[in-house]
A = this chain, B = another copy of it.
Amino acid sequence: MNKAHYSGKEIANGTVTSPKGFIASGVHTGVKEDNQLDLAILFSKTEAIAAGVFTQNQAMAAPVIISKDVIKNHRLRGVVINSGNANACTGSRGMEDAKAIQAKAAELLNISPDELALASTGVIGLPLPLDNILSGIPEAVSKLSENGGKDAAKGIMTTDTINKEIAVEVEIDNKIVTVAGMAKGSGMIHPNMATMLGFITTDAAVKPEYLQNALQEVTDSTFNMITVDGDTSTNDTVIVLANGKAENHRIDKDHPERDKFFEALQQVSEYLAKSIVRDGEGASKFIEAEARGFKTLSDARKAARTVLSSNLVKTAIFGGDGNWGRMICSLGYSGAPFNMETVELTLGNGQGEMMKVLENGLPLDYDESFVEKILEDNHISIIIEANVGAVSAKGWGCDLTYEYVKINGSYRS
């Protein structure tokens, strides 16, 4: 993953507990089979400023409703996350179950329930196996430690094949500030929607408003720019906790080094977002789409996202087919204005090999065998130059494979 343009120093084996003052755990409660970890707690030893962004789906899961509510005052101590069951479309029982988990964990953590956010991922429409989860909470609380980050990252996985975590350091006010995160996405034990969860920790001191705005802005250019199958889940959640242990001056929009923090947040979020699509259900190739030269950011983002979401583009990439007509076609229905007579298209790969295939809206006389070679790589770049403005955006996705159909077509039980 190319992160050369970020200044944050990546911490080897960093986890959500790399920032000072955070502890975490992951345990098995029996929601998932075998001995897989299925319950994670992330906890700040001291009060943290919190910000969150949540799914826009009208069919919002119970834990999302609760987390949106408790995060309103921008103060949180931690998050309890279960995997294996999304507690979505479960009506009033789902709300009661979620509140029971929140209450039990808060009691054992000796905090108020409204200092705890919740998140769930997994099968939807089935009630939570509440007893399993409740009986696992004491163990999860007792195991909370500065070394628990990796278990927590495992505890939030469903059919993810790798755990997704990162920590980076930047210097602000001559203090080392650490920003870290973990995420899950693109899979589940019982095939269901690709629930996206992200949890970011930092020991930076940050003002709540700045944190919320920064998270929203960063999410729009990272988590909101990835797509696996175009389905927006009922449970999508990204929460950031900032506990101030780094002892920098509180960051707000007037802080002279605010950009360093913002960039570290961006770095962590982009890494996690890319990890999610890289591990997309059945994915064999990672696709980066860059939409350049549009009039507005909204247009550029629409263009990149629509091209990445097209089943026909995704299957072409899977097949190693430089079928760029499908890319222009999807651009054509993206809603982003462009001009067929000025559009350019370049295909590239992770080895830096590139070939422009379209210029001024016309196919160039390119070497198709070289394009085939480019597309053999498992990292594909699609660069669209609209030439109608000066704004660019990047997005990330994956191909659509037999394995995707298999994972999602096989019966839940």
Q: Does chain B have a CB within 8 A of A6? A: no
Contacts of A350 in B (CB 8 A): none
Contacts of A315 in B (CB 8 A): 191, 404-405, 408-409
Whole-angstrom CA separation of A401 from B400 in the bound complex: 11
Contacts of A310 in B (CB 8 A): 229-231
Shortest A404–chain B CB gap in Å is 7
Q: Does chain B have a CB within 8 A of A337? A: yes
Contacts of A331 in B (CB 8 A): 58-59
Q: Does chain B have a CB within 8 A of A412? A: yes
Q: How big is the A interface, by class?
A: 35 or more
- Pick the contact of A408 from B311, B328, B338 — CB < 8 Å? B311
Whole-angstrom CA separation of A124 from B401 in the bound complex: 23
Contacts of A232 in B (CB 8 A): 329, 332-333
Contacts of A321 in B (CB 8 A): 191, 409-412
Known contacts A231-B329, A325-B124; A91 and B408 CB within 8 A of each other: no
Q: Does chain B have a CB within 8 A of A402? A: yes
Whole-angstrom CA separation of A406 from B400 in the bound complex: 10
Q: How many copies does the complex hold?
A: 2
Known contacts A329-B234, A401-B405; A59 and B340 CB within 8 A of each other: yes
List the B residue with the shortest CB-CB distance to A124. B325
Interface residues, chain A, with chain B CB atoms under 8 Å away: 56-60, 86, 88-91, 93, 123-126, 191-194, 229-234, 309-312, 315-316, 318-321, 323-326, 328-333, 337-338, 340-341, 358, 360-363, 372, 400-402, 404-406, 408-412
Instruction: Pick 21 A–B contacts, CB within 8 A, sort by A.
Output: A56-B333, A58-B333, A59-B328, A59-B331, A59-B332, A89-B358, A125-B363, A191-B319, A192-B312, A192-B323, A193-B325, A193-B326, A194-B312, A230-B309, A230-B310, A230-B311, A231-B333, A232-B332, A234-B329, A312-B408, A315-B409
Instruction: Please name 19 further chain A to chain B contacts, defined as beta carbons within 8 Å, in addition to the given A91-B340, A319-B409, A321-B409, sorted by A numbering.
Output: A58-B337, A58-B338, A59-B328, A59-B329, A124-B329, A125-B325, A126-B363, A191-B315, A192-B312, A192-B325, A230-B311, A231-B333, A232-B332, A232-B333, A234-B332, A319-B410, A320-B411, A321-B412, A404-B405
